[in-house]
A and B are shown apart, each in its own frame.
Chain A
Amino acid sequence: MAIGNLQAVAESGAFLVTSEIGPPKGADPDAVRKAARVMKGCVDAVNLTDNQTAVVRISSVAAAVLVQQEGVEAVVQMTVRDRNRIALQSDVLGLAALGIKNVVCMSGDHPCNGNHPAAKPVYDLDSITWLQTVVQMTRDGKFQCGEEMKKKPELFVGAVENPFAPPYEYRPIRLGKKVDAGARYIQTQCAFDLDYLRRFMADVVKLGLHEQVKILVGITPMKSAKMARHMQTNVPGLQVPEAVCRRMEAAADPKEEGLAIAVETIHAVREIPGVAGIHLMPVMWEDVVPLVVERAGLLPRPTVEIATTA
C-alpha cells in the first residue's frame, strides 16, 4: 500500500518527476508557497533542501508543511551535518506526525563553505547509517538503539548518490549499500556529462540494483553561461563538459539554451537502462520547472489513487 503520491506513482511504474525548492534565507513563507504553486501538477513530489550549502534557511520540515498546505507532496531532505541521532530521530517522528510522507537521507555539505564556517560539523551518523536508522524506525518501529516505539512513522525513504565524483568504481557499490540499508528511491547529483552516468548505470544494472530501487537522475536547467562556468570550476563533485559551457556562452538567449539543454538531457537520460525518473534541481529558478516538464513530454503527471492505511 502506498504511503503517498510519490510511492504510488513509483509503484505504478510510471516515469517519475520530482523537483526541489530551496527554502529562503529569512522567515518569509510566501517564497516557498509561491514556488510550490508553480510546481503544482507538474511534479510527483517536491524536495525541500536542508540548509543547502550549509547556509541557514527555513528548516526543511517547516517548509515541507508550507508546501503540503499548497497541495503539493513534500520530500524532506535530512542531513546528518547539524543534528545527532537523537535530534534526527525526533525530527522524523515530528515530520511524520505533521503528515509528511517522504524523507531523503544524506550527509550534507560541510559547514566550511557555508555562512557559519565556525560551526561544529556533527556527522554523528553517516548518510548510510542514518538511512538504516530511518528504515528501522519505519519498518520495525524501533529506534537506532533498538528500543521500540509506540506508533511507527510511515514514510517512503530515499537516498542520494553522485555518479560524477571519484572513486567512480566504488560509487555503484556504495549505492548497493544504500539499497541494502533500505532505500526505495535514489536521487542523483546534476547530470551534465552523460558518459559518467552511462558507465555508472551499466554497473548498477550489472549489480541488479535498478530492480530494487528507483533511480531519479538529477537535472539542473542553467540560467546563464556564468552559472555553467561556476558549476564547472567551483562546485566539487560536478562534471560540466566544456561543450556545454561553450554552448551556453555562444547562445543569444542563455535561458532558452539552458532549458533546451535540460530537455535534451532528459531525453538522453530516458534512453539509459535502469533510469526510473528525473529529479529537477532549478537553483533559484523555480518558474522553469513546468516548461521543462512540458517540453520533455512528461505531462500530464499520472494521478494514482493512494490507499489510506489509517
Chain B
Amino acid sequence: MGNALEWIGSKLYTGLVWFEYCAKHPIFGCRLCGTCKLHDLGLTCPMTCPKQLRNGPCGGVRANGHCEVKPEMECRWVRIERRARKYWPKSWWHPRHINPPVRWDLQATSSWLNYLYNVDKHKEEYEEIKAKQQ
C-alpha cells in the first residue's frame, strides 16, 4: 500500500485538498485537520469547538446548551450527542470510544486520502471498538 503523504506538493494533491475544503467548509466548518471525524460524530465537526474537544463537552456549556465562548453557537457536543443518538445507526455511534488526539502533522492534508490509506489509523480504532463490544 502506498503512502498518501508522498503526494504532498503535487498539483493534483493540492487540488484535492482545495476541493475537500470547499466541499466541507461551507457546510461543516472544516478546518482541514486531516483526521476527519464527521462520519463518527453525527456530521458535526469537533474542530469548530473553540477548545477543539474530540472526546465530549467541556464543563462550561450554558444551561440552554450553547457554547460558553460563542454564546450564539450550540455546543458542538450537545449537537453531536443529539444528532448521533437520534439519527445515527448504532453501529456508528460509540459514545464511550476515546478518540485519539489530533495529529497536527497531518494538518492541511487530505483526510479522504488519509482515510483511504489508513494514515489516520481509523482501522485500529475500529478494531479497538469491536474488541470492547465483545
- A residues near B (Cβ < 8 Å) are 81, 85, 106-107, 109-110, 112-113, 121, 123-129, 132, 144, 160-162, 165-167, 169-170, 173-174, 176-177, 180-181, 189, 236-237, 239
Interface residue? B43 (CB, 8 A): no
Q: Which residues of A contact B57 (CB under 8 A)?
A: 165-167, 170, 174
CB A7 to nearest CB in B, in angstroms, measures: 24
Known interface pairs A126-B51, A167-B65. Does A177 touch B101 (Cβ–Cβ under 8 Å)?
no
| Chain B 51-78 near chain A by CB (<8 Å), digits 1 or 0 | 1111111111111110011000001011
CB A122 to nearest CB in B, in angstroms, measures: 10
Known interface pairs A126-B52, A129-B55. Does A167 touch B69 (Cβ–Cβ under 8 Å)?
no
Q: In the complex, are the beta carbons of B56 and A110 less than 8 A apart?
A: no
Interface residue? B104 (CB, 8 A): yes
Interface residue? B15 (CB, 8 A): no
Q: In the complex, are the beta carbons of B52 and A123 less than 8 A apart?
A: yes
Question: Of B52, B54, B63, which is within 8 A of A166 by CB?
Answer: B63
Known interface pairs A109-B60, A167-B78, A177-B96. Does A236 touch B101 (Cβ–Cβ under 8 Å)?
no
CB A131 to nearest CB in B, in angstroms, measures: 9
A162 CA to B99 CA, complexed, in Å: 20
CB A73 to nearest CB in B, in angstroms, measures: 25
Known interface pairs A166-B75, A177-B96. Does A126 touch B61 (Cβ–Cβ under 8 Å)?
no
Which of B75, B85, B101 has the most chain A CB atoms closer than 10 A to its own CB?
B101
Interface residue? B81 (CB, 8 A): yes
A237 CA to B65 CA, complexed, in Å: 10
Known interface pairs A107-B53, A124-B101. Does A237 touch B59 (Cβ–Cβ under 8 Å)?
yes
CB B46 to nearest CB in A, in angstroms, measures: 9
Closest A residue, CB atoms, query B84: A170
Q: What are some 6 contacts across the A-B interface (CB < 8 A)?
A: A85-B101, A110-B68, A126-B54, A128-B56, A161-B59, A177-B55
A165 CA to B57 CA, complexed, in Å: 9
Closest B residue, CB atoms, query A239: B63
Q: In the complex, are the beta carbons of A167 and B51 less than 8 A apart?
A: no
Q: In the complex, are the beta carbons of A166 and B65 less than 8 A apart?
A: yes
Which of A85, A123, A144, A169 has the most chain B CB atoms closer than 10 A to its own CB?
A123
Q: Which residues of A contact B101 (CB under 8 A)?
A: 85, 124-126, 129, 144
Q: In the complex, are the beta carbons of A236 and B61 less than 8 A apart?
A: yes
Which of B51, B69, B104 has the most chain A CB atoms closer than 10 A to its own CB?
B51
Closest B residue, CB atoms, query A161: B59
Given contacts A106-B59, A107-B53, 9 further A-B contacts (CB under 8 A): A107-B58, A110-B51, A162-B61, A167-B61, A174-B57, A177-B55, A177-B98, A180-B96, A236-B61
Closest A residue, CB atoms, query B52: A123
Which of B56, B75, B78 has the most chain A CB atoms closer than 10 A to its own CB?
B56
Q: In the complex, are the beta carbons of B55 and A128 less than 8 A apart?
A: yes
| Chain B 95-111 near chain A by CB (<8 Å), digits 1 or 0 | 11011111010000000
Q: In the complex, are the beta carbons of B81 and A170 less than 8 A apart?
A: yes
Interface residue? B82 (CB, 8 A): yes
CB A108 to nearest CB in B, in angstroms, measures: 8
Closest A residue, CB atoms, query B53: A126
Q: Which residues of A contact B69 (CB under 8 A)?
A: 110, 112
Q: Which residues of B contact A239 (CB under 8 A)?
A: 63
A181 CA to B98 CA, complexed, in Å: 8
Q: Which residues of A contact B65 (CB under 8 A)?
A: 166-167
Which of B57, B64, B65 has the most chain A CB atoms closer than 10 A to its own CB?
B57
A109 CA to B67 CA, complexed, in Å: 12
Closest B residue, CB atoms, query A128: B55
A174 CA to B81 CA, complexed, in Å: 11
A107 CA to B56 CA, complexed, in Å: 11
A176 CA to B68 CA, complexed, in Å: 24
